[in-house]
A and B are shown apart, each in its own frame.
Chain A
Amino acid sequence: MALSNVLQTPAAGFNFDNATRNAALQSFFKGAETPKAMKTGTTIAGVVFKDGVVLGADTRATSSEVVADKMCAKIHYIAPNIYCCGAGTAADTEKTTELLSSNLSIFSLNSGRKPRVIMAVNILQDMLYRYHGQIGANLILGGVDCTGNHLFTVGPYGSVIKVPFLSMGSGDLAALGILEDGFRPNMELNEAKELVRASIQAGIMCDLGSGNNIDVCVITRQGVDYIRPYRESEYKDDRKIKYKYRPGTTPVLTEKVVPLKLEVVAETVQRMDTV
């Protein structure tokens, strides 16, 4: 039994069922706007420092021009020593990382070993390549394992690049400017956190798709510090009225109770062996 073969490779060829279904659904709309998938807009960044890796992300999820989620979690858990930031289609990044996380935990249980970052990267690469860009996930994977501190980026077509620092998402160019200017090899923890915070801040300020708060996740040999939120936005909305109404606000005029007549159609009894 191959310990590392937890991902069952499906039958030969690409499975484009959903792509053809989407194309068919498009025809029903007859020229009107098709609903857009919820994208995370996003600025995500990662930096390798002396003792580990710092990952950062904003918390805004947009659906076209509307902010769908103000406190979206874009830093996903993969393994105790590996976390992943996701940009692109929200559903794709969420599900891909969950799938990866499940597979790695099965691997850990089977082999008795903590997973390596490069293994997570290889599994992601194989899966995204197989789907030829249909899965819109731009991921930054960071983690610490026995071979050192690593940061990788995986593109939606399945390309992998190993980097000491990087940003992705719609706000990536703004964040990259800060990272290019401020990054130095072997930074201390506080410097690295500050650099990541500043780069996400730049992304939030200069990109409409990114905003709200900043989450930071620090991964070292000793453990993980997931700080959510690391910095809150200064522009929090100040609600003047409450939308919660206490019970009894709406008067009840009449009440009518109709019991449902249920007919037993079939009955099966299964015995459980209890010790």
Chain B
Amino acid sequence: MEKRSTDSQVKGVSTGTTILAAVYDGGVVIGSDSRASIGGDYVSSKTINKLIQVHDRIFACIAGSLADAQAVTKAAKSHLSFHSVQMETPPLVVAAASVLKELCYRNKEELQAGFITAGWDRKNGPQVYVVSLGGMLISQPVTIAGSGSTYIYGYVDAKYKPNMSREQCLQFATNALALAMGRDNVSGGVVHLVVITEEGVEHVVVPGDKLPRFHDE
């Protein structure tokens, strides 16, 4: 395996990645590609799920080193579960994002992982937070991250509208991810989408052959 981890900053398996989350009218859509790579030229998994459920109505999607991200989300799940037992109520999305932020910020020397946290809670409804590599935490209505996100900033800025319907938001997310996967070599595979609302959580998978095609494909 050593011969493969050459130029990439991340040691071991990296999630490469394009991840995004967007708030719509009544819920939030969080999505990612499904490729894990080592060193930028070997795909170690074509079907990895980067959307990790940290609580009943809260998901986090991971970017960066797979080992670091899995370790942090495990710790975060355990913290959140304990927190919600103590409070006797489901945690707020901002609490989940803060737990991830604390772990990333306190261990910034050793970790190379970033997260997008999205979910629904009773107090503030659907929300999206991004926790960057160094541990910055901000709340945005729509956010993208990962190496593939650089290719879709223009698309997201132009096409995102607040208060879209569920179908419009799913189509927006699918298009954005497909565009990024088309240009970034370390993003690819299938599109995983999760729709979180007050009622529950729905997981949608769009396989490679059902992805939207654009003019040059």
Decide whether A and B are members of one complex.
yes
Are A157 and B45 within 8 A (Cβ)? no
> C-beta contact mask, B11-51 vs A, less than 8 Å → 1, else 0?
11100000000000000000000001000000011001000
Are A158 and B45 within 8 A (Cβ)? no
CA distance A132 to B65 in the complex (A): 12
Contact of B70 among A88, A132, A160 (CB under 8 A): A160
Q: Is A34 an interface residue (CB 8 A)?
A: no
**Given A161-B36, A161-B45, A161-B48, A156-B70 contact (CB < 8 Å):** no
Are A133 and B11 within 8 A (Cβ)? yes
Task: Name the residue of chain B whose CB is nearest to the CB of A164.
Answer: B47
Contact of B13 among A88, A125, A126, A155 (CB under 8 A): A155
Q: Is A59 an interface residue (CB 8 A)?
A: no
Are A157 and B12 within 8 A (Cβ)? yes
Q: Is B66 an interface residue (CB 8 A)?
A: yes
Are A129 and B67 within 8 A (Cβ)? yes
Are A129 and B45 within 8 A (Cβ)? no
Q: Is A138 an interface residue (CB 8 A)?
A: yes
Contacts of B66 in A (CB 8 A): 155, 157, 159, 161
CA distance A125 to B65 in the complex (A): 14
Are B70 and A163 within 8 A (Cβ)? no
Are A157 and B48 within 8 A (Cβ)? no
CA distance A188 to B1 in the complex (A): 31
**Given A125-B70, A129-B67, A129-B71, A159-B1 contact (CB < 8 Å):** no
Most-contacted residue by chain B among A128, A159, A160 (CB, 10 A): A159
- List which A122-162 residues lie within 8 A (CB) of chain B: 125-126, 128-129, 132-133, 138, 155-161
Contact of A158 among B1, B36, B67 (CB under 8 A): B67
Most-contacted residue by chain B among A88, A155, A160 (CB, 10 A): A155
Are B44 and A158 within 8 A (Cβ)? no
Are B44 and A133 within 8 A (Cβ)? no
CA distance A163 to B45 in the complex (A): 8
Interface size on B, residues (CB 8 A): 15
Interface size on A, residues (CB 8 A): 16
Are A159 and B11 within 8 A (Cβ)? no
> C-beta contact mask, A81-116 vs B, less than 8 Å → 1, else 0?
000000010000000000000000000000000000
Contacts of B45 in A (CB 8 A): 161, 163
CA distance A155 to B38 in the complex (A): 11
Contacts of A156 in B (CB 8 A): 1, 12
Are A155 and B67 within 8 A (Cβ)? yes
Contacts of A158 in B (CB 8 A): 12, 67, 70-71
Are A133 and B70 within 8 A (Cβ)? no
> C-beta contact mask, B149-173 vs A, less than 8 Å → 1, else 0?
0000000000000000000000000
CA distance A163 to B13 in the complex (A): 15
Contacts of A157 in B (CB 8 A): 11-13, 65-68
> C-beta contact mask, A63-86 vs B, less than 8 Å → 1, else 0?
000000000000000000000000
CB distance from B190 to the nearest CB of A (A): 15
> C-beta contact mask, A230-263 vs B, less than 8 Å → 1, else 0?
0000000000000000000000000000000000
CA distance A129 to B12 in the complex (A): 11
CA distance A219 to B107 in the complex (A): 40
Most-contacted residue by chain A among B1, B11, B68 (CB, 10 A): B1
CB distance from B112 to the nearest CB of A (A): 10
CB distance from B54 to the nearest CB of A (A): 16
CB distance from A148 to the nearest CB of B (A): 17
Are B1 and A88 within 8 A (Cβ)? yes
CA distance A158 to B75 in the complex (A): 14
Task: Name the residue of chain A whose CB is nearest to the CB of B45.
Answer: A161
CB distance from A94 to the nearest CB of B (A): 18
Are A133 and B71 within 8 A (Cβ)? no
Task: Name the residue of chain A whose CB is nearest to the CB of B14.
Answer: A159
CB distance from B40 to the nearest CB of A (A): 16
Task: Name the residue of chain B whose CB is nearest to the CB of A168.
Answer: B1
Task: Return 13 A-B CB contacts under 8 Å, by A number.
Answer: A88-B1, A126-B71, A155-B12, A155-B13, A156-B1, A157-B12, A157-B65, A157-B66, A157-B68, A158-B67, A159-B12, A159-B66, A161-B45
B-to-A contact residues, CB < 8 Å: 1, 11-13, 36, 44-45, 48, 65-68, 70-71, 110
A-to-B contact residues, CB < 8 Å: 88, 125-126, 128-129, 132-133, 138, 155-161, 163
- Interface contacts beyond A126-B71, A157-B67: sample of 12 additional A-B pairs, CB < 8 Å, sorted by A: A125-B70, A129-B67, A129-B70, A132-B110, A138-B1, A156-B1, A157-B11, A157-B66, A157-B68, A158-B70, A161-B48, A161-B66
